[in-house]
Amino acid sequence: MDRMRAKFAILVAFSMATPAFADRLSFRNDVLPVLGKAGCSNGSCHAKSGGQNGFQLSVFAYDPAADYRNIVRGARGRRIFPAAPEESLLLLKATQSIDHEGGKRFDKDSEFYRMIHKWISQGAPWNSEKEISLMRIEVSPSSGQYKRKGETSLKVTAHYSDKSKRDVTHLSEYQSNDQALAEVDHHGHVTMGNQFGEGVVIVRYMDKVEVARVAIPTETLLPESAYAKLTVNNEIDRKVYDRHKQLGLLVSDLASDSEFIRRASLDTLGKLPEPERVRKFLASKHPKKREYLIDELLDDRDWADHWATSFGDLVRPNTLRVGVKGVYLMDRWLRRKLRDNAPYDQIVREILTATGSTHMHGPTVLMRDKRVPADAGAFTSRIFLGVRLECAQCHHHPSEKWGQEDYYQLAAFFGSMKRKGQGISTPISGEPEYWYWQAGGTVKHPVSGEVMKPKPPDGPFIDVPKDQDPRAALVDWMVDPENPFFARALVNRLWGKFFGVGIVEPVDDFRASNPPTNEPLLDWLAKDFKKHKYDLKRTMRVIMNSRIYQTSSVANKTNVGDERNYARSIRRRLGAEAMSDAVTRVTGMPDTLEGLAKGTRAMMTWNTKMRSVFLDTFGRPDSSAECPCERDPSPTIIQSLHLMNSDKLEARIVSGSGRAVNLAKSERKPEEIADEIYLSAYSRFPTADEKKIVLAAYDAKDASREKVTQDLIWALINTPEFVLNH
């Protein structure tokens, strides 16, 4: 008590001596922003979990009360010293007047120093006389058009509950989403790069996030006539060309029939087209043959298996965590749903409202995996809404509006799920678990302890009747035609599969600071998807019939530097399963897959823990990771070495029952053999030059028909034309 009085006395004396310090500062509105901007509450410094050297702050100041406690009362009060503010540990450390691992954060002669000094000298108040709340921030210019190498300075204004405003430009943090397009410095000064395009600068002040859009329009727009003769197959083409016109891009040539059938087959079925199918397609003169082929592919029985692999990446948990049987049942269930072409909303509803035994009903295994309500909520959001809320589990999302409330309100939909049974008992979780809904059970906010009412992100609070599973209410909200996320997330995911890059990329990261490259296109696709009752095949059909999908991967002058506007087809490596099955097609010999019947195709596998050098080499999702949903698509040298030198692959090429030996034994002429191999590997006939080279190899002195055929297969497998979907 005495100490308090002493502090107060000094404070009074001090402020009387220097009238300029009369306004009482607010910890929340004045001090925390300084600590944020100075980097003290950086996620890798004092705001990391456990703090740094015993001093902990919350990330993005999401917990001001704790921060206040730690500064004012922590370390036995040594951090601040109102009697002699300059002797406060907080200032000594930050100015590196004494040893500080984090280095000097600001100078003694700086606004930041004076601010903290003043606050300490006032006795480190929590509140100002009239404490106000930060309502929003405003960035200007919020959008602008610039020239290459152009510059602009952003201004950030904070708006408070009492309608007052404050310039917080010097206290905000800035980040450009594309450094090559625009760079932004510590002070909000933006410098454009040397290329054209659009980007955003993300601005954060405390827990508020805004974006400033920058556009550098091309200096060489093409005349309208350049677009006049382009084929328009459907609305997709119109929407994409509209963007091209704004950006000065021109779509590349139409892909050849061979390129088209190979790409279409890989994208819809995950397999190379059969040589017979290719021959027939190439020979056809029908003007609608591409349209017919698309119908044919979408009706192929492999369609369900390919997309089960694709969706399976998202919903098949780690077998070593939840048990092999449950994952197997989930996989079977998913394949059946797809085989029936079940509408997407129905598939998702069945997954998210699953109940019962994990040894009877596939989808329940997901409940077993995401057994904590918060995990189930975050999973639902990321996978089905395209919104990554995970950050908000512990702190406010760094570049979005999502806070902890959003995270735990969503979790609340899963709060009354109950279970019986073995639980998680790795490595096998051999016994079943039973999941059911029963009223009761709540989710609490981890900081405030408040019981959370179920509310989806950006949605309304939902009053769920006491006798109803809240998960059903969540799904009702998701599949409502007005829902802003659900359909967009899915069509974007599909677009990513067919074009190698999403309209929003990463495909599950929708946020204001990561805008779609073509908003009208995304809107239209989502609307069309909803209009057609969430029919997956319908959306695929529309995409594939567009002229844009059928574009060559060879760049022209206008689009060589562009990978986000679909003016050329983006080349991408075949996924692990498709690659494995492609090699099988060309060599005629399947890979042996552990524990599966001989001849099983890789697209039928469902357990990423199954050992396979080949599949590991070409990248499977890592189901040991928190979100196994991603596959790394980059080519690696390990892959090249494997295709070049693998003894196992060599054995498949030279096998006595393989394609090479069979072709060599047959009556076929060398050029017929070449045709067959080219059709199966590249979906095209060899060119005249290529034919000459191949025939020369067969005609060489001492050439063995068998060996040349094997060598030809090896050679084609080892080219980018084989490894890439182009």
Partner 1 sequence: MSILKRNCAGMARRDFLQVGLASIGGLTMTDIVRLKAEKAKAAGKSAKDIRCILVWLDGGPTHYETFDPKPDAPDGIRGEYGTIKTSVPGVHFSEYLPKLAKSFNRYTVIRSIAHRQNNHGAGNHYMMTGRPTPVPVGCGAFVTFHPSIGSVVAWDRGIKDGMPSYVSLERMSRSGGPNFLGAQYAPFVISESPNSKSFRVRDVSIPESIVGARAENRRELRKSLDNLQRINDRVANDPAVTMDEFYQQGYQLVYSEKAQTAFDISKEPEKTREKYGKNNFGQRLLLARRMTEVGVPFVTVYNGGWDDHSDLFKNLKKRDLPELDQGMAALMTDLAERGTLDNTLVVCLGEFGRTPKINKNGGRDHWSFAMSVMMGGAGIPGGQIVGATDVKGYYANENVYAPEDFAASIYTKLGIDHAQVLHTPAGRPVQLIDKGRLIKELFV
Residue-wise burial string across 24-36, b where 16 or more C-beta atoms lie within 10 A, e elsewhere:
bbbbbbbbbbbbb
CB 51 within 8 A of CB 61: no
Using CB under 8 A, pick the residue from 5, 19, 50, 449 that binds partner 1: 50
Contacts with partner 1 in 502-521 (CB under 8 A)? 506, 509
Query: Which has the closest alpha carbon to 135: 104, 165, 110?
Result: 165
DSSP bridge partners of 357: 434
Rg (CA), the chain: 31
Using CB under 8 A, pick the residue from 83, 447, 604, 697 that binds partner 1: 697
Tell me the window of 8-16, 178-186, 267-275, 534-542 that interacts with partner 1 (CB under 8 A).
178-186
DSSP bridge partners of 197: 216
Contacts with partner 1 in 701-720 (CB under 8 A)? 707, 711-712, 714-716, 718-720
Query: Which has the closest alpha carbon to 138: 161, 157, 155, 154?
Result: 157
353 binds partner 1 (CB under 8 A): no
Query: What does the per-residue mask of binding to partner 1 show for 10-39, with x meaning CB under 8 A?
Result: ---------------------------xxx
Length of the chain equals 726
Tell me the window of 224-232, 439-447, 457-465, 630-638 that interacts with partner 1 (CB under 8 A).
630-638
Helix (H, G, I), strand (E, B) or coil at 573: strand
695 binds partner 1 (CB under 8 A): no
Number of residues that bind partner 1 (CB under 8 A): 89
Using CB under 8 A, pick the residue from 136, 148, 149, 186 that binds partner 1: 186
| Pairing verdict, β 724-725 and 572-573 | antiparallel
84 binds partner 1 (CB under 8 A): no
Contacts with partner 1 in 103-122 (CB under 8 A)? 103-104
3-class SS shares of the chain: helix, strand, coil, % to 5: 45, 10, 45
Closest CB to partner 1 among residues 182, 542: 182
Query: What does the per-residue mask of binding to partner 1 show for 55-74, with x meaning CB under 8 A?
Result: ----x---------------
Closest CB to partner 1 among residues 164, 426: 426
Q: How buried is 382 (Cβ within 10 angstroms: 0-12 exposed, 13-18 middle, 19+ buried)?
A: buried
Q: Give the contacts of 573 (CB within 8 A, at least 6 positions apart).
A: 579, 618, 633, 634, 635, 639, 723, 724, 725
Query: What does the per-residue mask of binding to partner 1 show for 244-283, with x meaning CB under 8 A?
Result: ----------------------------------------
Q: How buried is 116 (Cβ within 10 angstroms: 0-12 exposed, 13-18 middle, 19+ buried)?
A: buried
694 binds partner 1 (CB under 8 A): yes
404 binds partner 1 (CB under 8 A): no
Closest CB to partner 1 among residues 239, 388: 388
Closest CB to partner 1 among residues 360, 644: 644
Query: What does the per-residue mask of binding to partner 1 show for 276-305, with x meaning CB under 8 A?
Result: ------------------------------
Using CB under 8 A, pick the residue from 151, 632, 672, 699 that binds partner 1: 632
Q: Distance between CA 579 and CA 121 in Å, rounded? A: 68
721 binds partner 1 (CB under 8 A): yes
CB 365 within 8 A of CB 358: yes
The token pair at 151 is 């510059």
Closest CB to partner 1 among residues 133, 634: 634
Smallest distance from the beta carbon of 39 to partner 1, in angstroms?
5
Contacts with partner 1 in 563-622 (CB under 8 A)? 563, 571-573, 609, 613, 616, 619, 622
Taking each helix axis as running N to C, give the angle between helix 670-682 and helix 576-587, from 0 to 180 degrees, rounded to the nearest 10: 170
207 binds partner 1 (CB under 8 A): no
Closest CB to partner 1 among residues 349, 573: 573
Contacts with partner 1 in 410-449 (CB under 8 A)? 424-428
Using CB under 8 A, pick the residue from 624, 666, 669, 672 that binds partner 1: 624
693 binds partner 1 (CB under 8 A): yes
Q: Distance between CA 401 and CA 513 in Å, rounded? A: 10
Tell me the window of 125-133, 168-176, 296-304, 452-460 that interacts with partner 1 (CB under 8 A).
168-176
CB 509 within 8 A of CB 199: no
656 binds partner 1 (CB under 8 A): no
Query: Which has the closest alpha carbon to 404: 451, 435, 373, 446?
Result: 446
Smallest distance from the beta carbon of 104 to partner 1, in angstroms?
7
CA distances from 210 to 117, 204, 264, 393, 402 (A): 30, 6, 40, 21, 12
